Structure 1
Amino acid sequence: MKSFNILFWIACVAMMTLPIGCRSIYSPKMVAFYNVENLFDTIDSPGVNDSEFTPESKKVWNTGRYQRKLENISSVIAELGRAEQVEAPAVMGLAEVENRMVVEDLVSSIPLERFKYKIIHKDSPDARGIDVALIYRPGYFKPKHTRFVPLHIQNEEGEPIPTRDILVASGKFAGKKMHFIVCHWPSRYGGRERSIPMRNAAGDLTRSIVDSLRTEDPSSYIVVMGDLNDDPVDPAVRNHLKAGFSPQPEHSDSLYNATASIFLKGKGTLCYRGKWNLFDQFVLSPNFLTSKKGQQLLLKTGVFNQPFLWQQDGDYRGYPFRTFVGNWYHGGYSDHFPSYIIIQ
């Protein structure tokens, strides 16, 4: 990863020597992912499990709290690029959004409105009423085809468990054919061991999507991002998605887990009982690291964990500063930190 950082800063210095009008063409681009922790509106919608997020609920989820949530999340997205001296994310995956309207409210907020983000979203059958979405800047990503792939899983009694679809957006990104796959795999609710088979199934489905895309065009670039509810070392990621820790030859069966090195250093995107997990991962097709004409596409991988995103005191000091702990309103951002990659 050290060589990636050197390449990144060389690219930034080179960019600053270009005329201002050319910098957006040649500058490195950020792709990010953020689990925004229950971004719900205040309306009790029929058929959606959202009564917990209404003014009459124990959370007292009202317009003021909703607007503060939008301001918090949008300020994080706007700050992501500034922290790395690049532009705001060109493409960004989101998890735990209730519907398209909340994403529209997010991208039209003051910190983000100037970026003119477009939205890819579809309501999923998830029992909690949450979905994944993709926002993108149309000057950099031009989607040609999008689809939402359902994940069919069952509980121990053989009953179906409605969960989030997997979003697949294919198109041109900075002139290259690229596929963005946004996931939010089943949670560890009810116990990690009991829920492993569900995430293994999610890993298998995600891998089958990757394989079909690579069969169709082996030269295309694939980005799998999302809250996998497992760490890079867990079986669903290592054995089912087949995401390895080290760069692979271009036509290797194994994918490259760009976020694994961060986890192996003891860092993460969320903290539970004093232990850091890195659920919010980026897994890439091997050609991101294949050197052609002396260039590698992947320059840097990171977790955005600036101090303003930390809980500042109490038992959870140093944890992500979240919106709620139970029904106790904290007024923070999310229980996850965002993760990102920077592409040359």
Structure 2
Amino acid sequence: MELFSFYNVENLFLPDPPPKHKLDPTISGLRNWDEKRYKNKLFKISHVFQLMKEKNGNLPFIIGLSEVSGRKVLEDLVQLEPFNSQYGIVHYNSMDERKVDVAMLYDKDKIEVIDSETITYFFEIIDKNTENYDTTRDVLYSKVKYKGAVLNIFIAHLPSKREKDVNRPKRAFILSEIRGRILSLLDKDKEHVILCGDFNENPDDENLKKILFDDSQIKVLENPFEALFSARKYSTFHYKSGLLFDQIILSKSLFDGDAVLCFEKAGIFNSEKIRSRNRNFEGRPFRTYAGTRYLGGYSDHFPVFVEFTGL
């Protein structure tokens, strides 16, 4: 059995230099973020995967991450238990205005990275008072080998829902571009595709439905998180609404019993230990910040995972 996981870790930043004035925001936007809080955050994130290992018997062989800031935080993370420096890192700095990126961790004993690159998007801004383009978080693409099989992995953190969802066309454009890349890969023999991320849309949203089909409306991808969302299983929350923005989408080849990896089940890792202790937020993730108030938790998202059986 092998696990593949994705986790939005909620602002994993290095400690900022002290602000010049108490009213100035820190670089990360996290009030009073310091070395002690940073180390607690690292411990919390590593502890999530220790809990996952205890429950499932092993660590995910590949982990997609979002909301990490720079390579150094990843290097610090993989030194801790349960990773113990046995995990490699694929990361590139993006042009996101908040300096948050996506990244991939992988078990060096199981995975060989063949190639990787970022897919960067620029969007024109129609506003004379701003720069003439807007950037968002890169999509990370990695081609890896596992037991002779090639996995094409896309890790995304799409533009957020805000201001009456002005970013929806951006998400639609990015997903359309990713879909085109995936369709070109699916023609290759013995290659599989995994698309994971925080899509800032639920599995039943039109943008995520469209990506599952080719130009002939033949279904080429499966989203096992559709069933979880229908069953009211959520990875994050906004006010009273439960959301399943975090998903892992798979090529249909990964449902073939003769494949080196075969889909078994999908899930949301919402262990009691990483849930909120506040009765008003029962069942929700125990987050690091609520606005500018430090809570000291793990993340405002639960990690999601897919379990595979293997040959």
TM-score, normalization by structure 2: 0.89
Which has the higher mean CA deviation after the structures are superposed, 295-304 or 283-292? 295-304
| Percent identity of paired positions between Structure 1 and Structure 2 | 29
Matched, 1:342 2:307: yes
Higher strand share: 2
Equivalent residue for 2:264? 299
Equivalent residue for 1:108? 79
Change (3 A) 1:58 1:120: closer
Mapped contact 1:125–1:162 kept (Cα < 8 A): yes
Structure 1 segment 61-72 matched on structure 2, within 5 A:
61-72=33-44
Matched, 1:52 2:26: yes
Offset from partner CA, 1:59-110 (integer Å, 9 cap, x none): 11011000000000001022213212x3111100000000000011111123
Letter in 2 for 1:308: K
Letter in 2 for 1:162: T
For the residue of structure 2 that corresponds to 1:297, the secondary structure is: strand
Distance 1:320 1:83 in 2: 18
Equivalent residue for 1:212? 184
Matched, 1:261 2:227: yes
Distance 1:288 1:221 in 2: 7
Number of residue-to-residue matches in the alignment? 299
Equivalent residue for 2:21? none
Distance 1:273 1:116 in 2: 39
For the residue of structure 2 that corresponds to 1:78, the secondary structure is: helix
For the residue of structure 2 that corresponds to 1:79, the secondary structure is: helix
Where does the alignment leave 5 or more consecutive residues of structure 1 unmatched? 1-27, 245-250
Matched, 1:31 2:31: no
Distance 1:255 1:134 in 2: 21
User: Structure 1 residue 156: deviation in Å?
Assistant: 5.6
Distance 2:30 2:97 in 1: 20
Change (3 A) 1:197 1:156: farther
Distance 2:147 2:12 in 1: 30
Name which of 114, 117, 128 aligns with 1:144.
Answer: 114
Distance 1:311 1:292 in 2: 41
Offset from partner CA, 1:162-200 (integer Å, 9 cap, x none): 1111111112113311111111111112233x2211110
Change (3 A) 1:138 1:58: closer
Mapped contact 1:42–1:53 kept (Cα < 8 A): no
For the residue of structure 2 that corresponds to 1:31, the secondary structure is: strand
Distance 2:3 2:225 in 1: 14
For the residue of structure 1 that corresponds to 2:121, the secondary structure is: coil
For the residue of structure 2 that corresponds to 1:153, the secondary structure is: strand
Where does the alignment leave 5 or more consecutive residues of structure 2 unmatched? 19-23
Letter in 1 for 2:164: G
Distance 2:15 2:288 in 1: 15
Letter in 1 for 2:229: F
Which has the higher mean CA deviation after the structures are superposed, 172-181 or 96-105? 172-181
Distance 1:39 1:229 in 2: 19
Higher helix share: 1
Letter in 2 for 1:52: T
Alignment RMSD (CA, Å):
2.4
Mapped contact 1:303–1:340 kept (Cα < 8 A): yes
Distance 2:281 2:149 in 1: 43
Structure 1 segment 65-214 matched on structure 2, within 5 A:
65-84=37-56, 86-113=57-84, 116-155=86-125, 157=127, 159-192=132-165, 194-214=166-186
Change (3 A) 1:219 1:253: farther
Change (3 A) 1:160 1:304: same
Mapped contact 2:115–2:142 kept (Cα < 8 A): yes
User: Structure 1 residue 253: deviation in Å?
Assistant: 4.4
Offset from partner CA, 1:2-54 (integer Å, 9 cap, x none): xxxxxxxxxxxxxxxxxxxxxxxxxx111100000000001359xxxx96357
User: Structure 1 residue 211: deviation in Å?
Assistant: 1.6
Distance 1:330 1:210 in 2: 40
Mapped contact 1:53–1:59 kept (Cα < 8 A): no
